[in-house]
Each structure stands twice: as structure tokens, then as C-alpha cells.
Structure 1
């Protein structure tokens, strides 16, 4: 028997333009706050939600629209004061901030932004109330930050997410395949991303188009049928 050919780890591009973002009930509040800039309380916005919900997509839309700089939470903790001061003058995105937040630097950045007139969009899986913060002054300041949460998808958004994920990978699927997935999958962004990625890999490995039998093979293998 021939050995199964493993798929190559081919690169694929996710669309990040504003027109590519799927607006529906679970994310309407977050989109509205992105569009409302610069009218944010304390010049900060914290965008929260589960993995794969579109936080990065929205932050990239805002970043490109406003020519913002981009750093991670880890990078924030390594910045000297003069660099923090420069970042505080203009729009800034901090991605994946959370329980290991560098409290001292975030506290100084908050004060510098208030002084110098910049804006900061933060993304996180968690609300700041769930971070194990120990610095009272930072806790007090974060209490003025607007929080916008993206919830897990409803049926309408889940179907649209599946369509976009397949399109991002340049995979063609029929409405029947989408319907087959819709009635069998858990309504979560993580599940949608996992299944589309797994189907892409399976299709490449077996050199088969994505069909209902191929989808059924995957779901049976993963115990979802």
C-alpha cells in the first residue's frame, strides 16, 4: 500500500481589509467602537473575545486606517521610557495583552497618552478585570478604559466565517458542504478555523476536492459524527 502523502505547509493569506470583515450581532459593538475613533474614553479601547473571533482583523483595520504602530504585550514590557513617550504621541496597537501584562510600563503609557494625545487599541482574550493586577494606580486607570467584546458567533456569523475562511485559503466549497458543516459543528471561531484548516490539509494529503464524503471522513475521525 502506498504511504499517504503529507501536505506541504503552504502559506496562505488572510484578508484584513475593512470590507472583508463580517459584521453581525456578536461583533457589531466592537466594529462601532473601531469606527467611532478618536471618540474613545481616556483614548484607550480594549477589544476582547475568544481566539479567532476577529480581534486581530479589526486591530489591523484600525492600524492601517490610522497609520498606527504595532507592538505585542511582551514588547511593551521591554520598552524604555523615551520610546514609550514617542509611542504615546500617535495611534498604537498592543496585541495579545492579558494576565502577564507589564503593569509598570502600561501605567506609564496610560499617563503619557493622556498627556501627549495619542490613542491605544489593545486586544486580549480577557477583560482587564480578569488580569491578576497588583498595581492599584493601574487598576484605577483601567477602570476608565472602554471595553468592547466580540462574542462567539450566531448562525449567521458562523456561516459567514466559514465562507471567509475557505475563501482566504482559496478553497471552493458548495452550499451543500456549508450546510453539512453548519448542522454539525460547535458554534465557535476556534472550531471553524480548525475544521477549515484540517479540511485543507486532508484535501492536499489525499489529492481530493473538498466534498461531503471528505468532510464526513474528517468529522468521523475527530468523533464529531
Structure 2
């Protein structure tokens, strides 16, 4: 899906779906998000976590097969607040990493205005992610903090090492190759264990196994990663 709201075309990754999201201890959050996406009125859903735990994955998954706008606010310096105009008739608006614009009055005012427009239109679901709860982010506008707290606020819990292994095996299976427990545990002990890094490596391994027609083994990983 290409989202025309961004100055440059932005495509959502095809492999970040609900089927490829390993829930772990986040079943309540996951089920509540599914329920919200089935509604036809304005709702706010706020997901926070202190680590890279899958927040963006959930936004990408939510945006599939919907009239959606996904805006990565960590890249706000490449964007302009006016990008938030014209979103009133969308099914879904996703604001990823809203804490990135804290302290930037023009962005805060634009998001506050977006809330008011979406509330009045009462059509769009608003999904928001951040690295902390609304009240712990140093926003300039107190009213924006209030708006961010209107809906459901959930902490996305980090996966245990065992669950990270299962998440990697699920992603590998969906990609059409096998990640053995032995290989998965080796990977978890040798690299940065945040899920974004691990999934990026998995994509690299997938390409390598296809190109060389080899199974994914520990010696093969050592060769790829030059360990």
C-alpha cells in the first residue's frame, strides 16, 4: 500500500501483518485493537513501550486493507504539520512515535487540531504509538496530553527470550523457510535482541538461503555475519 499523504511514496511492508505478530503476553492489547478496528466511529488507541517491541508492526498490520494514513513522526524533520490535513474521511490514521514531536509547538497544535476534526466527523480510528504513557511525555500543550488519554492506553510488553525465539520461528515459517531452535538460540546470544534488528537479520538470511540454496545453519549464519 502506498500512502499519498507523505511527500514521498511510502510502502507498508507486506510481512508485518496480524498473522505474523507474535502476541506473547499482549493478548488483551491485541484483542482490544482488533475490536476497535471493527468499529465505525471515532476511537483512540494508544500503544507505548520503552523498547522496540512491535509497536510499528501493529500499526502496519492495522493499516492493511483499509483507507489508512501511516505517518512516521520520527521523520518529522522531513515532513510538515500540514500533512495532517485532509484525513477526516479516512478509516484509520496511524501516528507512529508521537513522542518524537514533543516540544514542537507547530506539530502539537496540528495534532490537537486533528483530534478535534476527527472527533467532530466521528468516522476515523486513531492509532498512536510512543515510548511512554501520555502524561510522561514533555508536551507543551496540556490539552494534547488530555486528548491522548481519551481512549484506551496499553503498554506493549516486551517478549521474553523464549517468545522472541517463537516470534522468529513464526516469521521464518511464514516466509517459507525453517529456523531451528538451535539456530535461533545462537542468534539470540550473538546479536542485538530487539525485534526490529532480529527481523531484519531474518530477511537477510532468507535472501541468502534462497540465493545459495542452503539450509539455515549455525556455520552458515557465522559466514553471513562474519562471526
Do the aligned partners of 1:48 and 1:55 also contact (CA within 8 Å) in 2?
yes
Deviations along 1:52-101, one digit per CA (max 9) or x if unpaired, are 5322332233222543233333346133xxx63x4134321222322324
Query: Does residue 153 of the first structure (1) align with residue 159 of the second (2)?
Result: yes
- Indicate the residue corresponding to 2:6 in structure 1: none
Instruction: State the TM-score, normalizing by the size of structure 1.
Output: 0.69
Aligned with 1:123: secondary structure?
strand
Deviations along 1:119-148, one digit per CA (max 9) or x if unpaired, are 211223333334321112222322324222
How far apart in 1 are the matches of 2:99 and 2:32? Answer: 20
Q: CA deviation at 1:114?
A: 1.4
Alignment root-mean-square deviation, CA: 3.7
Q: What aligned pairs does 1:4-83 form with structure 2 within 5 A after superposition?
A: 14-25=14-25, 27-37=26-36, 43-49=43-49, 52-73=52-73, 74=76, 75=79, 77-79=81-83
Query: How has the CA–CA distance of structure 1 residues 153 and 159 changed in structure 2, closer, same or farther, with 3 Å as cutoff?
Result: same
Q: CA deviation at 1:32?
A: 1.9
Q: What aligned pairs does 1:115-194 form with structure 2 within 5 A after superposition?
A: 115-117=120-122, 118-167=124-173, 171-181=177-187, 188-190=194-196, 192-193=198-199
- Indicate the residue corresponding to 1:111 in structure 2: 116
Query: How has the CA–CA distance of structure 1 residues 191 and 119 changed in structure 2, closer, same or farther, with 3 Å as cutoff?
Result: closer
Which protein is bigger by CA-based radius of gyration?
Answer: 1
With CA pairs under 8 Å and 6+ residues apart, which has the higher RCO, 1 or 2? Answer: 1
How far apart in 2 are the matches of 1:191 and 1:152? Answer: 14
Do the aligned partners of 1:41 and 1:144 also contact (CA within 8 Å) in 2?
no
Aligned with 1:18: secondary structure?
coil
Q: For structure 2, which runs of at least 5 residues remain unmatched after alignment?
A: 1-12
